Amino acid sequence: MFRKVILPPFFRKNIYLLVVAAWLVTLSFLINNYWSSFSSLRTVHKEMNNYVQKGEKDFNKLLQDPALKPLYQGKPIGSTWNLLAERSYFVFFY
């Protein structure tokens, strides 16, 4: 019913090397995932922070633009639609 597993003589004498090698591979996998997750989290946080700050600066600069003053007052505007369409965000006036 059960087959006997026969290991080669090298592995029978040095089974501890196999156990240590498996343990080291597992340990290196865990350490690698620990460090890489923190570094990527920092990178993602930094990139998102830069993206938001860049958008805020661009939005503040857009609000200071005198070409949009007629739009604030509800008057029709001509060529400034392109100024708004080029943005990576939307602006709503009500």
Rounded CA separation 62/56 (Å):
10
What is the pLDDT at residue 65?
84
Strands (E), 1-94: none
The domains of the chain are located at 7-32
For the chain, residues with pLDDT lower than 70 are 1-2, 5, 36-39
Q: pTM of the predicted model, to two decimals? A: 0.50
Distance from the Cα of residue 23 to its chain's centroid: 31
